[in-house]
Structure 1
């Protein structure tokens, strides 16, 4: 999804709504000269290249430690309802079979050659009814669970947060209540891959712009607003707080309410950011004495903005970071935006991970609890997204889906969790490219 991911540094509700977040990495890149991968229809056949046709790239070291485990060791495994899981597994195989680029600035991906036999076996089952029992049998026949451990070689436990896709009201034209822009990528934005020049900085990127012969940091939110040359605007939103928190999530849907497109919904997906550090507007309001720490909810921030319309820009400009978007068509309302892996996210089946521990595309068994409770929340998910605030072994951000209910669950999510990585039996320990 390439969004801001939550780094929870305040109480849970404040953290979820006014979180100390940092931008995610860019999506997996294609090989030079190749077109970007096209997302195939769920009804299209799964095409798996021959093993010798999958060009390998140098291995990337994973920070995680893995311990071979049994299926019975994963709590709740036999209770996970896999009746609708098979199409998700096939779609993930399409991603696994993409050629790796070898670009060290992109997040680490599960090794395609390791997965080729498993995905080939899945392709042979095309047309075969796959109920929950058949899916479970296939997974247990072809995959091996590996417990994810920390540096102390004990099972890692870490924070599991949540994110979602919000809906806002907007227009393609500025006017009336539609005064709050969602920007596209500026023409003068530079993204510099430091690892291409200094190998020891692999994975590090900086954003900036060219002024004369010097590359300088890109403009802050306030500088962009004051500039006579703004980035292109994709849509104008009717509420500044909705606009802001859509940027926090990094992707969302816009219900267009006027003009020739009135009544239609478009998706705005993360495209890039200005490289400036994120500052929580909730923390800014607390520091200014405008709200108490236990009051910094989205509702109270919105109410403050309505009471103080002359200070709304001051509040927003306290955060110098800006997310830039691209427009996408919503082809299937049940699917979320594409994550950093380039695969559409699915509610409660997709997570963001630290790809240096769990490479993208990897099936993961996640054991955690429901938001603000001790009720078990356990099941198979796919590592399909990343974020700079999602760091460490077993750290995860669970995608809850679209709309207000998903937002309510995501906003309360700050639980502890553990992971088991599922990997092809014949391939040994998990590896990355």
Structure 2
């Protein structure tokens, strides 16, 4: 799909329907078309929806937020005021998982804690490519500039922290600080797993986050070179004021919810929108989730990253997910009907 086509769909979802939207890229469904819809916990989805529904500035979304707070009703609320819209035609979805990792670290460098998390440098141009991961690390472009937030002991875990975009740093005294996504260097993410497959290191069915971590640790020199195949480099910010019992802060500046929040491509899926997930694979998921986060590797109309929670257990579950299926956006009913009339 062309950038113009993406823009037309996005505009139709957020505002008035566009004549350019329709055909095979967009299809209005009924709730009966959603596999497992009746069996879901719609109250849990509504609770997650309410965390961010007041953020979109469009009057229609604000009105729905007020109705959700006043009426509740879970399933009846979504069925009364939304219609399911399939974006992307016959394109198969790709679902992956993410989590909030916890790393051991320190606020000061030492022989043990040598690998820094950096804040975004001021001169970084918005929306334009800057130095690559290899250039930043090999040339020390950020060293000695006071951009270090903390230092951690494991460079492999730090790499995966950048992929996740947020996490916790447990300090030597037991205190925990939270870090969130603070920007990136403008380069697209390249999959390390796919590169390992291309190089013949592993077959596709063998690759997982844990497999990658183990291989890099066993092969420190080649492993470092492999990680630099991904030119994207993520910067962080220290997160304060967030309840430790809640999830990390997502792209809407609110905590995300394990099993109910997803990261999406906002060029296709409006942040804050309910999204019906039909994930296949070893562990099928049929669930209403809320688009409350983004990620540099999440691109396309049928692409979502499912938030699994915090810690090692969540990390292992998230690392196993790379499954096909379908995702359907719930669009305010007036706009869904307007789209139908334009076809």
Both proteins in one fold, TM over 0.5: yes
Kept in 2: contact 1:66–1:146 (CA 8 A): no
Q: CA deviation at 1:185?
A: 1.3
Q: CA deviation at 1:312?
A: 6.6
Kept in 1: contact 2:252–2:292 (CA 8 A): yes
Determine whether 1:76 maps to 2:36. yes
* Change in CA separation of 1:317 and 1:297 when aligned onto 2, cut-off 3 Å: same
Determine whether 1:175 maps to 2:110. yes
Report the counterpart of residue 11 of structure 2 in structure 1: none
Out of 171, 180, 194, the position equivalent to 1:269 is: 180
Q: Note the alpha carbon deviations across 1:234-276, whole angstroms, 9 max, x for none.
A: 111111111111112121111111xxxx212111111012234
CA distance, structure 2, for counterparts of residue 281 and residue 68 of structure 1 = 37
Kept in 1: contact 2:156–2:217 (CA 8 A): no
Query: Number of matched residues?
Result: 322
Kept in 2: contact 1:95–1:342 (CA 8 A): no
CA distance, structure 2, for counterparts of residue 119 and residue 283 of structure 1 = 41
TM-score (norm 1): 0.64
Report the counterpart of residue 239 of structure 1 in structure 2: 154
Note the residue ranges of structure 2 that are not aligned, 5 or more in a row.
Answer: 1-13
Out of 359, 373, 385, the position equivalent to 2:270 is: 359
Structure ID, larger Rg: 1
CA distance, structure 2, for counterparts of residue 156 and residue 288 of structure 1 = 28
Q: Note the alpha carbon deviations across 1:74-129, whole angstroms, 9 max, x for none.
A: 11111101343333222222223xx3xxxxxxxxxxxx22223322323434xxxx
Kept in 2: contact 1:148–1:393 (CA 8 A): no
CA distance, structure 2, for counterparts of residue 224 and residue 159 of structure 1 = 36
- Partner secondary structure for residue 247 of structure 1: helix
CA distance, structure 2, for counterparts of residue 116 and residue 220 of structure 1 = 45
Kept in 1: contact 2:87–2:329 (CA 8 A): no
Out of 166, 187, 193, the position equivalent to 2:122 is: 187
Note the residue ranges of structure 1 that are not aligned, 5 or more in a row.
Answer: 1-56, 100-111, 192-204, 209-215
- Judging by fraction of residues, say which structure has more helix: 2
Out of 56, 62, 78, the position equivalent to 1:116 is: 62
Kept in 2: contact 1:220–1:322 (CA 8 A): no
Out of 127, 130, 147, the position equivalent to 2:85 is: 147
CA distance, structure 2, for counterparts of residue 386 and residue 364 of structure 1 = 14
* Change in CA separation of 1:280 and 1:179 when aligned onto 2, cut-off 3 Å: farther
Report the counterpart of residue 285 of structure 2 in structure 1: 377
* Change in CA separation of 1:319 and 1:137 when aligned onto 2, cut-off 3 Å: closer
Report the counterpart of residue 136 of structure 1 in structure 2: 75
Report the counterpart of residue 5 of structure 2 in structure 1: none
Report the counterpart of residue 90 of structure 1 in structure 2: 50
Determine whether 1:332 maps to 2:243. yes
- Partner secondary structure for residue 138 of structure 1: helix
* Change in CA separation of 1:121 and 1:301 when aligned onto 2, cut-off 3 Å: closer
Question: Root-mean-square deviation (CA), in Å?
Answer: 3.4
Kept in 2: contact 1:354–1:386 (CA 8 A): yes
Report the counterpart of residue 171 of structure 2 in structure 1: 256
TM-score (norm 2): 0.79
Out of 98, 101, 104, the position equivalent to 1:163 is: 98
* Change in CA separation of 1:426 and 1:226 when aligned onto 2, cut-off 3 Å: closer
* Change in CA separation of 1:248 and 1:60 when aligned onto 2, cut-off 3 Å: farther
Kept in 1: contact 2:83–2:336 (CA 8 A): no
